[in-house]
Amino acid sequence: MHESGARGRTRRAILGAAASVLSRRRNATVADIAAAADVGRSTLQRYFPDREMLVSAVVEDSLQRLGESLKEARIHQGPPLQALRRLVVAMLDVGDHVLFLYGDPRITEAVAGRDGSDPAAEEIRRLIRRGQAEGLLDAEVSSEWIEHVLWAHVSAGCMAISGGTLPRHGASAWVIRTLESGIGARTAL
């Protein structure tokens, strides 16, 4: 659902605050989320009558935001290392949504269970395999392992940003540097 005007801004503020709060505290209350969104609890409940509906809407919103960010990163274009760097920046840009979606196994399972596929994950796997085929990413480890390492580095960057230990503008450089040092082909980097 896409709304414009004040109602749309309020809805987006609630969803953004919910992703942020729930990515840090899975047991956060509706009152906690309303406070983070700077709206009253009754306002939040006019948009989302119960916590379950709110969490479901946050899942949908987070998937949409992550999908848009990955689309803008164009990870299927250009040299694999440049695409990987764009991917890291894109994921850090929607860090709260990444942490919300992939930080709780129940939500991750629900996302995967919707139709059994994850187009974003498949696109990332293709990028990794392309980087390995071109000798830019370590072909001596599995592409699945590289994918896990990628998510671990992005997650660490998202948590550092949200915890205030790493500035948003510098996080991607640190994540990319440590990621490439770990998964790059021994002669490529």
Q: Is a pLDDT exceeding 70 seen at residue 136?
A: yes
Query: What was the pLDDT predicted at 181?
Result: 84
Distance CA 111, CA 95 (A): 17
Distance CA 64, CA 60 (A): 6
pLDDT tens-place string over residues 137-182: 999 999 989 988 998 899 999 989 988 898 888 899 999 998 888 8
Q: In the chain, where are the structural domains located? A: 5-183
Q: Average pLDDT, stretch 117-135?
A: 86
pTM for the complete prediction? 0.80
For residue 188, what pLDDT band results from cuts at 50, 70 and 90? very low
Q: Is a pLDDT exceeding 80 seen at residue 184?
A: no
Q: For the domain 5-183, what is the CATH superfamily, name and number?
A: Tetracycline Repressor, domain 2 (1.10.357.10)
Q: Kindly report the CA angle at 56 between 50 and 57, in degrees rounded to 5?
A: 90
